[in-house]
């Protein structure tokens, strides 16, 4: 069983700007969890750094939230909010399916905001 999971994990390739459906593990506290889309930021070996997305109507107006409008490139089912303060690194095994990519302008905005968060 472990070998099958390892083989599936090794076949997944990730690139920045891709959007994947992911199973975020449950953690204590106010953390994103459950099945939802995310934006790939970086990939190092078996670890992938992501920005989770949530539905637009769940937005509470955090200054570091970024609206991502659905379109035929990102293939989101609804307008979504990139939760930039919830950046996480996850193991490749929690990724389910690539659904699209985010446009370069939005990705540039995301990286600028993440840099600002790290500077504060």
pLDDT tens-digit readout, 41-66: 999 989 999 999 998 665 567 788 89
Instruction: Write the pLDDT tens digit of every residue in 4-17.
Output: 444 454 568 899 99
pLDDT average, residue stretch 94-119: 93
Backbone Cα Rg of the chain: 14
Q: What is the dihedral of CA 12, 18, 20, 25, to 10 degrees?
A: 90
Q: What pLDDT sits at residue 25? A: 83
Instruction: State pTM to two decimals.
Output: 0.84
Domains of the chain: 2-119 (2.30.30.110)
> Is there a contact between 38 and 52 (Cβ–Cβ < 8 Å)?
yes
Neighbouring C-alpha atoms within 13 Å toward the C-beta of 90: 27
- Tell me which of 35-44, 51-60, 95-104 is least confident: 51-60
């Amino acid at each position: 069983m472990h070998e099958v999971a390892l083989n599936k994990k090794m076949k997944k390739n990730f690139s920045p700007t891709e959007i994947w459906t992911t199973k975020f593990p449950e953690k204590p506290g106010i953390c994103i969890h459950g099945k939802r889309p995310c934006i790939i930021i970086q990939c190092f070996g078996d670890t992938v750094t992501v920005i989770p997305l949530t539905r637009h109507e769940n937005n509470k107006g955090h200054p570091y939230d970024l609206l991502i409008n659905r379109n035929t490139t990102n293939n989101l089912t609804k307008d979504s909010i990139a939760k930039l303060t919830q950046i996480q690194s996850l193991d490749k095994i929690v990724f389910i399916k690539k659904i699209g990519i985010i446009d370069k302008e939005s990705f540039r905005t995301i990286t600028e905001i993440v840099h600002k968060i790290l500077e504060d």
